Amino acid sequence: MAGGRARRLSRFALIAACSIPLVLLVAAALGGRLGANPIEAALNRLGYWTLFFLLLALLPTPLRLLFGWTWPAPLRRTLGLVAFSYACLHLTTYVGIDQFFDLHAIVADVVKRKFITIGMLGFALLVPLALTSTDRAVRRLGYVRWKRLHRLVYLAALCGVVHFVWRVKADLREPLVFAGVLTLLLAARLAGPLARSAAKGLVRARSRSR
């Protein structure tokens, strides 16, 4: 029982911490501190934090594989939902504020501008993951199928990073940092099992040679 309360508390603390960028953004918007083009600034910041939290959600597994830390694992779902929430705000800002529900312009953007196409794809991939984020959904799908479905998050993260790379005109520093971090996070997932099977292979080879 106490464990459940601690888990709820840590989840609440995590959500509070993850809300800080949003609170700062709203405060800056209300205070007129978003610069000359506040809509663009809000869009960029929300997109930045979407990617940030999406990549953060991919961190617990490498931490477990590389360092044996298991405590971050229960936070993955919350981090994923936080990332999805920022993605929703990012998309809503684009649709409702930047384009002001100009469906014609939005459809043209999605079709013609590849960075928007891939951003939309990334968002679409997150939707089924958010919808099946409950314990009940895991039970209903069965863990194996649920797990397979949630591997889509890798593709969604890739879409998000490419969305950022393609969005930028000339200065690729920030998007390439995200791309590098994503590469490391995915490589770590392969490195753990590879190292283990290599070690196993080595043991087997040794025992055979004896």
Partner 1 sequence: MRRDASAWHVTRHDERADPLEVTPLALYLRRREFLALGAGSMVSAAALGWPAAAAGGAEPPLLPGVKKGAFGTDEKQTPYADVTGYNNYYEFGTDKADPAANAGAFRTRPWSVSFEGEIEHPQTVPIDELLGWFTLEERVYRMRCVEAWSMVIPWVGFPLADLVRRLGPTPKAKYVAFTSVLDRSQMPGQRRDVLDWPYVEGLRLDEATHPLTLVAVGLYGRQLPNQNGAPLRLVVPWKYGFKGIKAITRMRFVSSEPPTTWSRMAPSEYGFYANVNPAVDHPRWSQAKERRIGEFFKRPTLPFNGYADQVAQLYDGMDLRRHF
Q: What is the rounded distance in angstroms from the CA atom of residue 95 to the CA atom of residue 99?
A: 5
Query: Could you please report the per-residue DSSP string of 44-87?
Result: HHHHHHHHHHHHHHTSHHHHHHHH---TTGGGHHHHHHHHHHHH
Using rule CB under 8 A, residue 204 touches partner 1? no
Position 92 contacts partner 1 (CB under 8 A): no
For the chain, give the number of residues.
Answer: 210
Q: Considering only the stretches 54-62, 110-118, 146-154, 196-204, report the one whose residues sit in contact with partner 1 under the rule CB under 8 A.
A: 110-118
Of 2, 103, 144, 170, the one binding partner 1 by CB under 8 A: 170
Task: Indicate the residue among 29 and 188 with the shorter CB distance to partner 1.
Answer: 29
Minimum distance of partner 1 from residue 170's CB (angstroms): 5
CA distance 25 to 56: 20
Query: Residue 157 Cβ, how far from partner 1 at the closest point, in Å?
Result: 22
- Where helices occur in 99-172 by DSSP H, the ranges are 103-112, 114-131, 135-141, 143-150, 152-167
Site for partner 1 (CB under 8 A): how many residues? 27
CB 188, min distance to partner 1, A: 30
Residue 40 binds partner 1 (CB under 8 A):
yes
- CA 3 from centre of chain: 27
Contacting positions for partner 1 (CB under 8 A): 29-40, 99-100, 102, 105, 108-109, 112-115, 166-167, 169-171
